[in-house]
Amino acid sequence: MADLRTQYMGIELKNPIVVGACSLSKQLDTIRQIEAAGAGALVIKSLFEEQIQLERAKLDEKLGEYDELYAEAVQLFPKSPHAGPKQHLHWIEETRKQVKLPLFASLNAVNEQIWIEYARQLAETGVNGLELNFYSLPLDPNLSSSEIEKRELDTFAKVRAAVKIPSAVKLHPYYTNMLAVATAFDRAGANALVLFNRLFQPDLSIEQEAERATLTLSDSRDAALTLRWTALLHGKLKADLVASTGVLTGKDAVKMILAGASSVQVVSALYKNKITAIGEILAGLTSWMEGKHYAALKDFRGKVSKQRVKDPWAFERGQYIKALLGFD
């Protein structure tokens, strides 16, 4: 029997299949099914700053001051379960009591005070760790990328100091220098880095001549960026590397672990192939390990990372040039 044990944020997991933050974690029944299907851990859907601001605006008698933000937040969180921050926190506490698998909470905020206050409250729910999602769309043309990164790092350091449980940072793939940003979060004490958040892009309807919201699920081809940066970062950081985006099959999971991931997060796989996808990915991973006579994940983790491949150019410019010259 293959030994699939690994860790996320330093917390031991029985296997590397982590269900990433998404709406599936809104229902206790679904979380129970995810646990029964054998997932190693689950990240609960994020608490977003807009939810917090919405509740504040509702409580404020002078609602007029917040009209614009309120309207936006109402649109974003109309009547979904656990929509307010209080319900969200209470519901995580309840979920914690009902299931045994490691649970991680997720926060996506904007203002520093909200980051700190809600990271503390989420930590008090009994979750095993926090995933901090720093996605926000910079719209100020006078704000440099280094200033944005500095603010994120400062906020992270304060959150890290405010909570006792481990924290991971969920990064997006669009930083100018990924290695520098990942190294900086690692030095600031991130226990894991999730590579990457998938940013949902806008679309518009040419019939309605209006913008429309889209949510495109990943397929295995979307894993390329994650694979590259996992392979480049493996062995350079203390933080666990968690591969997210485009892991839909056992083979996808094997590739990420070969590149250096400690665990993989799956979301689209579950939306496309149902919760049974967890068992299928685990079966694919174990059958590959048996075929290759690997007894444990650690026997092949990072085997195809930049640190360990013979060609130092692989994953860098050489791959790009080889691909272009070799294409006929």
Residues binding ligand FMN (CB under 6 A): 20-23, 45-46, 106, 133, 170, 197-198, 215, 217-218, 244-247, 266-269, 271
Give CA 206 to chain center in angstroms.
Answer: 33
124 versus 219: smaller Cβ distance to ligand FMN: 219
Burial profile 237-254: b = 16 or more Cβ within 10 angstroms, e = fewer: bebbbbbbbbbbbbebbb
166 versus 294: smaller Cβ distance to ligand FMN: 166
Q: How far is the CB of 44 from ligand FMN (least distance, A)?
A: 8
Question: Rounded CA gap, 223 and 317, in Å?
Answer: 19
Q: How far is the CB of 24 from ligand FMN (least distance, A)?
A: 8
161 versus 217: smaller Cβ distance to ligand FMN: 217
Length of the chain in residues, anyone? Answer: 328
Q: How far is the CB of 154 from ligand FMN (least distance, A)?
A: 21
Residue 310 token pair = 């013979």
106 versus 305: smaller Cβ distance to ligand FMN: 106
- Whether the CB-CB separation of 103 and 42 falls below 8 Å is answered with yes
170 versus 306: smaller Cβ distance to ligand FMN: 170
Q: How far is the CB of 5 from ligand FMN (least distance, A)?
A: 22
| Helix residue ranges, H only, the chain | 28-36, 49-59, 67-76, 85-98, 112-123, 145-162, 178-187, 224-233, 250-259, 268-273, 277-292, 317-326
6 versus 46: smaller Cβ distance to ligand FMN: 46
DSSP 1: -
Q: How far is the CB of 45 from ligand FMN (least distance, A)?
A: 4
Question: Rounded CA gap, 240 and 189, in Å?
Answer: 11
Q: How far is the CB of 266 from ligand FMN (least distance, A)?
A: 5
